[in-house]
Structure 1
């Protein structure tokens, strides 16, 4: 198995690897296991290699936060890594122009789950209305990927403009709660 295939995953999986890495890193950092945190940082940055939103720019700040044993900054940077993965999924749907409904829907659901698992708790603490608005925009995005229907019944064409607007709102609301993600 090559290093690239070691990081491959299916959109049908229940969790996003970057969400899992975030959780592991926070637990390890709180437990003072900085060697594990360092390895997870390298793995997380590598996961985004060759993607629409690479994470190379996070490598140095992650290393610095780990060296300083700064749990809060480390958690914030791993959350940013998860945000890049969420954006990746949202934008990959746009890039593929909703050609495969099943993949587009699974990708969107995984982005939503990653948001819920990693970012929503802090968004909700800061501004509950933003949390509700983000969830609403995920629903709007889902409506706008279209639907092939069952034997043509319930068929709905994708609305790229509506989807793009929902994605912009999701990103803007997340960045409003996490200004450091604006890069």
Structure 2
């Protein structure tokens, strides 16, 4: 019985170490970003023949206020997208929307720099930044610049590794590397800006700051994990361990009495 118990615990530790550094999450989807999601749907709509501007404008309206208020995107860039959708200029609208996605990646990574020592928040912020990058990468970068696509994907992986790992009950603990994160962040942002924001761009980025939440709203702060996401995996491990101990104890007693 002890042998089986040791093997089970070892498997659980390995599982915990692997899942703590994965991009995919079992509880919710913290890598999703509404601005990127709306862009993806608008992109599909505007690439139809004829272009479906009604769907694109509907998707844009759902995220317009958020885009205008964020300090890194701002009202001017948001207005440029809106105006080009209104006059049916699909390419220009998507051009400015891609700039907004780059600024949103910047926002996540800048916030991560401030919360670097909070592993839970940092992990979610990086996942959101990477989720937005994946939209840009899938729809554009892989086709336009394959070598840069590979390079930046690698830098995101380096940034993930740089967050370290608190481990499972201290097992598998890996120290964070702020220097590596900042180096990867600098490469990611500078390359994305060169790729998607032309030198001398006349439409300015920058807004008023983050949207304030009313006292009755219970939305999570940027980078904050839900209770289920935060405690779900640990709870599952405890349940499995307790269940396994109970099962092996019952089997042992049954063997002795047989």
Q: TM-score, normalising length from structure 2?
A: 0.58
Counterpart check, 1:67 vs 2:86: yes
Which residue, 136, 143, 154 being the options, matches 1:125? Answer: 143
The answer to which of 24-33 and 80-89 deviates more is 24-33
Q: 2:41 and 2:80 mapped to 1: Cα distance? A: 18
Per-residue deviation at 1:30? 4.0
SS in 2 for 1:98: coil
Counterpart check, 1:155 vs 2:167: no
CA RMSD of aligned residues (A): 2.6
Q: 2:196 and 2:60 mapped to 1: Cα distance? A: 19
The answer to which of 161-170 and 82-91 deviates more is 82-91
Task: Identify unmatched segments of 5+ residues in structure 2.
Answer: 1-27, 206-258
Q: Is the 8 A contact 2:112 2:122 kept in 1?
A: yes
- Check 1:128–1:30 CA distance in 2 against 1; reply closer, same or farther (3 A cut): closer
Aligned to 1:87: 106
Aligned to 2:125: 107
Counterpart check, 1:18 vs 2:32: no
Per-residue deviation at 1:177? 1.9
SS in 1 for 2:56: helix
- Check 1:59–1:49 CA distance in 2 against 1; reply closer, same or farther (3 A cut): closer
Task: Identify unmatched segments of 5+ residues in structure 1.
Answer: 1-10
Per-residue deviation at 1:115? 1.0
Counterpart check, 1:165 vs 2:174: no
Counterpart check, 1:41 vs 2:60: yes
CA deviations 1:80-135 (Å, max 9, x no partner) are: 22222222221211111331x12311221222122112344422222211011101
* Larger RCO, structures 1/2 (Cα 8 Å, 6+ apart): 2
Which residue, 157, 160, 165 being the options, matches 1:142? Answer: 160
Q: TM-score, normalising length from structure 1?
A: 0.79
- Check 1:158–1:176 CA distance in 2 against 1; reply closer, same or farther (3 A cut): same
Q: 1:13 and 1:102 mapped to 2: Cα distance? A: 11
Aligned length: 173
Per-residue deviation at 1:38? 3.5
Higher gyration radius (CA) = 2
Q: 2:76 and 2:170 mapped to 1: Cα distance? A: 46
Aligned to 1:78: 97
